[in-house]
Structure 1
Amino acid sequence: MNVLFLLGDSSLKGGTERSTIEIANNLAYNKDNRVFILSIYRSAKEDNQSFAIEKEVIQASLYDNHPITKNFFFKALFYLRTIYKLLFFLKRNKINLLISVEVISVIFTYPTIILIRFFGSIKYVVWEHFNFTVNLGLKLRDFCRKIAAKSADAIITLTDRDKRMWSENLFVKGKIISIPNSSPFEVTNTLYNSESKKIIAIGRLVPQKGFDLLIDVWKYLYDNYIIDEEWILQIIGDGPDSQELSQKIKNYNLQDKIILVPANNQIDRFYTNASFLCMTSRFEGLPMTLIEAKSFGLPIVSYNCITGPEEIISEESGFLVEMNDFKSFAEKVYCLMNNSKLRFNMSNSSKKEVMRFSAEEVLLKWENLLKEI
């Protein structure tokens, strides 16, 4: 089968790009598959990818650089040229299955699919990477979901909860299949460090990730509980909210309790040396930081945002807290701080539970999709 993944820019360093490349690489190992990754444009050369693409995967882009779309005329021209280029690529390479990565790409793939089906057949899958309630301020994303529901042979969601939201809010013509992303890390064999006093939170410093809410939790925690002075919270990541978060930490006089750590390529060291992880996101698709943390056997305290946490965390591996209940969140953090046996038990449970997010388990679901579609 000739399978093509279409996405915005495969060279970016994001969860969507990582998971797309991982699945494409694994599917390409099957000699019956010919796998393509096609970017609309690429901001880096092939030899400077954020994630390695195997030589078995054929990669290409419709444009070498981000096209100039400064006015309506240029936008319309870019749109029509993109559809033409995509149509030509699909026909030339005899693509049997087009996977539209991230639902907003439907704006390009849907018209192309309509044109191709005038002359032949092609299977069409749309891969949701956020959740049904999130449009990031773009009504176009909501429109694309409606189009996908009417036209796709299958919709892939990251969680069962999102699968339910799609089926409850739209009439979906094809299948809806829940396939999570896999952990980029193998389950650690290292024994959990019960003596660690480091708590971590990881992600881009943007409003979605809710690090401002986590700082509020820490303010309440230190105002209402007696905390061992060795405990430290590390917020690891880069982003536009860095200055604002730094100022909030200073305003709360928590500079010696909360440290902002720049994003780096040795994130596994932070997981290995941590006691547990906290997440206060306002929304997610499937929060990879929770899956990664469990691969390292970390207990977790997380807000139960839409979507993902409730499908990753059990009572045996962490605490789920209702959104914005900062008092309960602080209580759970304090509980873990003062119960090393509970942390150790949760660590063991985390390692067992995360196996269903292994690359092998996720690949099996993708292979079944290719057989059934």
Structure 2
Amino acid sequence: MKKACFIINNMGSGGGTERVALTIINALAEKGHDITLLNLWQDDDMAFFNISSKVKVSCLSTSKTSFYLSYFSIVKKIRNFVKVHNFDTVINVESTLSLFIAPALCANKAWHVNWEHYNFTANGGSKLRTISRYIAAWMADTVVTLTHRDADIWKKRARPRAEILPINNPLPFAQEAYNYNPDAKVVLAVGRLSYQKGFDSLLSAWKEVTRDVQDWQLRIVGNGEDETSLRAQVGKLEITNSVTFFPPTKNIETHYREAGIYCMSSRFEGLPMVLIEANSYGLPIVSFNCLTGPSEVVENNVSGLLAAPENIDELAEKLKYMIKHRSERIKFSKAAYDSSPKFKLDNIIKQWEELINR
């Protein structure tokens, strides 16, 4: 049996990248594949999400180190780890890690897979992230993108030597029976409280919503570097009575069940897990149509409503429309639920099995 190693920065985080990575890693291990998970650093022996006992877990360091000052040391440690364990496939979870993995695998027979979790145009203000994508395009053997649209961007921008292979993120849990409550007056938003997720735009849009709607609540689940500023924005906008923040939770399903609408305000994405999950619970969606992903999950005017990227006024108008039209919410809800099976884990895992079994 072939051996595969997934390399990640730190699995202790509770973010969407870590969640979907573990969904794939656990599923492959449970199907009998020889899977190792290597953390570049891990300050304890627990991940935020559960790791299958069939996954072999290792780390290069028990504490976080400077990737700049320790660059050559990290590359050397990865090279030695891969050599000792004789992996057939090495997958770096997130493109920036190609800065370490690509040189570490030079002259090694392992098949190098770069797994992109955002999109080619999104660098979060980091030039190194952009550089890493060109390195992956030319030094990796396969680049896995989350959408066909992003695959096209990679091919056009990077003119890669690597194979560009789109594989969607899967739904991380089994889809429940349809049980949407059209009278649940909660708009749900989930994600890291960061610039990427655009919660500042959502709060500004929500202020406009509350001018016409007084009996709905906005529920934001997550934490992050922007939490203080977002809470201050809530106070400044005088919407404290209709906005509640919740910490990250492993039992996010409870929030989906209690919501009537899901809203995503991201400035950029790869393939947003939150939309896939919201679909599975039959939640009608209102979202910015950012690069990339929303248009591959949400069929506009069928399973949800898409607003122009970062157009706060349009997002507010679509939220108000969805709130005020109960029958439309029900129609969108059923369409969202019916579209969910295309993201079933079994279908996605088959594509990963074909990749690691080459």
TM-score (norm 1): 0.90
Work out the CA distance in 2 between the residues paired with 1:68 and 1:122. 27
Work out the CA distance in 2 between the residues paired with 1:333 and 1:249. 18
- TM-superposed CA distance for 1:132, in Å, is 0.6
Show the counterpart of 1:97: 89
- Pairing of 1:181-196 with structure 2 (within 5 A): 181-196=169-184
Q: 1:68 to 1:187 in 2, by over 3 A?
A: closer
Show the counterpart of 2:58: 60
Check conservation: 1:154, 1:176, Cα contact below 8 A. yes
Q: 1:253 to 1:29 in 2, by over 3 A?
A: closer
Tell me the number of residue pairs that the alignment of Structure 1 and Structure 2 aligns. Answer: 356
Moved more, 340-349 or 179-188: 179-188
Show the counterpart of 2:36: 36
Q: 1:61 to 1:345 in 2, by over 3 A?
A: same
Work out the CA distance in 2 between the residues paired with 1:212 and 1:233. 13
SS in 2 for 1:246: helix
Q: In the alignment, is residue 168 of structure 1 matched against residue 156 of structure 2?
A: yes
Moved more, 153-162 or 82-91: 82-91
Show the counterpart of 2:335: 349
Work out the CA distance in 2 between the residues paired with 1:215 and 1:160. 31
TM-superposition CA deviations, 1:243-268 (whole Å, max 9, x none) = 32222222222222222333334322
Check conservation: 1:125, 1:152, Cα contact below 8 A. yes
Work out the CA distance in 1 between the residues paired with 2:208 and 2:356. 50
Check conservation: 1:185, 1:295, Cα contact below 8 A. no
Check conservation: 2:30, 2:52, Cα contact below 8 A. no
Moved more, 201-210 or 163-172: 201-210
SS in 2 for 1:114: coil
- TM-superposed CA distance for 1:178, in Å, is 0.9
| Deviating 4+ runs (over 6 angstroms) | none
- TM-superposed CA distance for 1:190, in Å, is 4.5
TM-superposition CA deviations, 1:5-62 (whole Å, max 9, x none) = 111112322222222222122222344x3211111111221xx221222222211112
- TM-superposed CA distance for 1:68, in Å, is 5.7
Q: In the alignment, is residue 270 of structure 1 matched against residue 271 of structure 2?
A: no
TM-superposition CA deviations, 1:275-294 (whole Å, max 9, x none) = 11111111112211111111
- TM-superposed CA distance for 1:161, in Å, is 1.4
Which residue identity lines up with residue 227 of structure 2 in the other structure?
S
Moved more, 139-148 or 262-271: 262-271
Q: In the alignment, is residue 364 of structure 1 matched against residue 350 of structure 2?
A: yes
Q: In the alignment, is residue 303 of structure 1 matched against residue 301 of structure 2?
A: no
Gaps of at least 5 residues in structure 2 are: none
Show the counterpart of 2:72: 80
Show the counterpart of 2:193: 205
Q: Identity over the aligned pairs, expressed in percent?
A: 33
Moved more, 361-370 or 182-191: 182-191
Which residue identity lines up with residue 236 of structure 2 in the other structure?
N
Which residue identity lines up with residue 11 of structure 2 in the other structure?
S
Equivalent residue in structure 2 for 1:329, among 315, 320, 330: 315
SS in 1 for 2:223: coil
Structure whose alpha-carbon radius of gyration is higher: 1
- TM-superposed CA distance for 1:184, in Å, is 2.0
Gaps of at least 5 residues in structure 1 are: none
Moved more, 295-304 or 11-20: 11-20
Work out the CA distance in 1 between the residues paired with 2:154 and 2:305. 27
- TM-superposed CA distance for 1:125, in Å, is 0.9
Cα root mean square deviation, aligned: 1.8
Check conservation: 2:118, 2:269, Cα contact below 8 A. yes
Q: 1:189 to 1:63 in 2, by over 3 A?
A: same
TM-score (norm 2): 0.94
Check conservation: 1:41, 1:63, Cα contact below 8 A. yes
Check conservation: 2:136, 2:162, Cα contact below 8 A. no
Show the counterpart of 2:11: 10
- TM-superposed CA distance for 1:269, in Å, is 1.6
Check conservation: 1:302, 1:309, Cα contact below 8 A. yes
Which residue identity lines up with residue 3 of structure 1 in the other structure?
A
SS in 2 for 1:256: helix
Which residue identity lines up with residue 354 of structure 1 in the other structure?
S
